[in-house]
Chain A
Amino acid sequence: MSDVFPRGRTAIAGLATYGVGEAPGHTSMELTAKAGLMALDDAGLTLADVDALYVCQPADFFAGLSFAEYLGIRPRYTDNNRTGGSAFMSHIASAALALEAGYIDCALIAYGSNQRTSGGKLATKITSNQWDEPYKPLFPLSSYALAAARHMHVFGTTREELASVALAARAWAQTNPEAFAHGSLTMEDCLSARMISTPISKADCCLVTDGAAAIVMTRMDRAKDCAKVPVPVLGSAAAAWWNSVAQAQDLTMTGARESGARAMEMAGVKPSDFDTVQLYDAFTINTILFLEDLGFCAKGEGGPFVASGAIAPGGSLPVNTNGGGLSYCHPGMYGLFAIIEAARQIRGEAANQLADMNLALAHGNGGTLSSQATVVLGSMATV
């Protein structure tokens, strides 16, 4: 069964981030609304143009309704599909289909969280299921630790290799003024960082920050009349292989294998075609797993691949050029920030702008390596 997707017939017309890092004194909804309005402004559109909302909030399971109420609009469609931090990649898929069908005309996809200044911990009401909970795995950290331990056991992946993911992310962040973590970071710092759930130490974990992000999607004909050059959506696919890691068939292989292959087939591209790759790096093991599962290196070779410097500034595959969840920001659901960095690279607006960016991948992860969703974005030259 092959996928049907309106390749290049919808586009990101506007985008914005707001309050990245710390935004003291703000509610999550305030941050979300600011980012949403800034994204509309960026597109040269107004709130009156929006007829569909796609949104997630840290603790509001009626976020679609709350967001509509807060903005004071009556959208034709609201969606707060909640697959964890990959939700926004799924939002792009449903928005593209609804736009193409003419069911909606302008989608605002938004997210915001004040988790750093409001509590300082990951703000989520999601927990382990009733089968796992008696054993008190740290949610979600210990599940990633179980995946990392298995990957180390099967492929000989090392803590140094995991750490090189964090070092690459920090190197990108150091030249991104918007990034939260700019300080120096050495291999020794990573290896001596406090262990949390073996083999994952504090240095392997994403940041806890505030931050909001939003994009505006329209059909391509309309996007061409907007303020900025459109960023066409070439493909988007999500995979659901498990919720609890205990149900993974092979914990060294994620649903990214499926979502990536499907999104790339929709786009008519292959891994070697990409100019940059933005991956949801909640933990250092994520980057290794997704590079393998998306086809940027062979299964089991992710560790040596990242240790070679390939993903760091100056490397052969620019990954997480904003600094990623590890060093740019992580307000709890990072997926939309990965999408925005991919789009900024294509627009030529990224802090660490690279030359000749025509094809970018944004990959989202949700839950405990559970939801995997991939978006392929291109320049106007690709449609």
Chain B
Amino acid sequence: MMTAIAIDDEPKAIDVIRFHVSKIPTLSLIAHFHEPEEAMNFLRSNPVDLIFLDINMPYFSGLEMLQQLQIQPNVIFTTAYSEFALESYDYNAVDYLLKPFEFDRFKLAVDKAEERIESQRKQQLFFFIKDGFKNIKVRFDDILFIKGSGNYLDIQTDHKVYSPRMTFVEMLNQLPPSDFVRVHQSYIVNIHYIDKIEDNHIFIGSHKISISSSYREVFFKRLRIE
């Protein structure tokens, strides 16, 4: 399962992407934006696997946006301008779609992205956290959820809680976006361990985590719950 967002100043262009995405079951479009700034704010707290990005927008071009992002996301450019194709390689773009693009071409690009994301995922199954003087290996798929508290985090695994000194955003940028989702100002959950969702609360085993209203919409879209 991959998560994606789309950025384009023209609503109809977003409609095309939404339509194509709806035909691909392994891809979910969790948000779309008409302005790059909004997208950048969103990305700060919600990392995604893939971005569909228009280049030529009124105030802020797609390329400028990529320059300002601290992470290097997987990007598929969607534009009417063929002359940026060469430049797009500098941004390690997955593909370059020329508008209007039909579904077959779109699917080809998404397949390419899927391949790349899959290999990135294989490279990154775990990470290390500092605990006092020790570096401890934590596998991503052991993590149930992560709670932020000030400058510390509580990383809850099946049997243990790790509390490294780390900020929430630092943590967020390391996690594979396809498995983890932010549900609250200070909670990230691993979607594979969610047992049930009831009245704005997520239950993972014996833990009860509340969903804040600002993350609710994206979270439900992410899980494809209407």
Partners in one complex: no
Q: Please list the residues of chain A having a beta carbon within 8 angstroms of any beta carbon in chain B.
A: none
